[in-house]
Copies of this chain bind each other. A is one copy, B any other.
Amino acid sequence: MGRPRTPLLSADRIADAALELVNATGGFTMPALAARLGVRPSSLYNHVAGRDAIVELLRERAMSEVELPSHDPDELPRPWREAVADIARSYRRSYARYPRLIPLLTAYPVNSASAITMYNTLAATLVRAGFDHADTLRVITLIDYLVLGSALDVAAPDEPWLASAEVGPEFAAALATATPNPHRADDAFEYGLSVLLAGLGA
């Protein structure tokens, strides 16, 4: 008894193929996905409810490696800035693997368990730190902006700005300090995170 040459269709295999299409073309359609998997579009619906469900599988994949701080109830809670910084770093590390997914994920409502768990932890940490509910949502959104912008930047070319004739002296001097990626993007993210956390206390 030989194995089938083509693995059986599954939600996981559909997500793999969708991710390949997103990485190659920036998006996916159900017909293109079916063509890539060598099946009819209707077969996809035996495994996933539709395009939205596939986007959530991709989000779950991006979020699945986000590490949340463990909280030992016998220990004092860590300072909120440290807890938020660790979550933001882990969130960014995960998303930086899939920069081309980002515009797709931001265009669909968040509904994956890993994402909700991370937002729950952020919200609980911020409310405990004294932020009211409206500001808690604003801070979470600001962390999203920093993480998503920075994850896109990891995929930027090593020289993200071409030093053309029109570059002025101050910008040229600033550009001369840039290091190759991923160092430049890592450095800018850490700088941004510390500015953000300092600004939240001001």
**Chain A interface residues toward B at CB < 8 A:** 22, 25-27, 29, 99-100, 102-104, 106-111, 113, 116-117, 119-120, 122-124, 126-127, 133-138, 140-142, 144-150, 152-153, 155-157, 159-162, 164, 166-168, 170-171, 173-178, 184, 187-189, 191-192, 194-202
Q: Are B110 and A166 in contact (CB under 8 A)?
A: no
A48 nearest CB across to chain B (Å): 17
The answer to whether A133 and B166 have CB atoms under 8 Å apart is no
The interface residues of chain B lying within 8 Å CB-to-CB of A174 are: 123, 126-127, 133-134, 136-137, 140
**A188-B142 in contact given A120-B168, A174-B136 (Cβ < 8 Å):** yes
B142 pairs with A145, CB closer than 8 A: no
Tell me which of A102, A109, A111 has the highest count of chain B C-beta atoms within 10 A of its own C-beta.
A109
Known: A141-B192, A148-B152, A162-B109. A120 touches B26 (CB 8 A): no
- CB pair A191 B110 closer than 8 Å: no
A142 pairs with B199, CB closer than 8 A: no
A179 smallest CB distance to B (angstroms) = 10
Q: Is the CB of B191 within 8 A of A136?
A: no
12 contacts between A and B (CB under 8 A): A22-B26, A25-B26, A103-B103, A109-B160, A116-B166, A116-B167, A133-B176, A136-B174, A138-B187, A141-B191, A198-B202, A199-B200
| Interchain CA distance A175-B140 in the complex, whole Å | 10
Q: Contacts of A103 on B, CB cut-off 8 Å?
A: 26, 99-100, 102-103, 152, 155
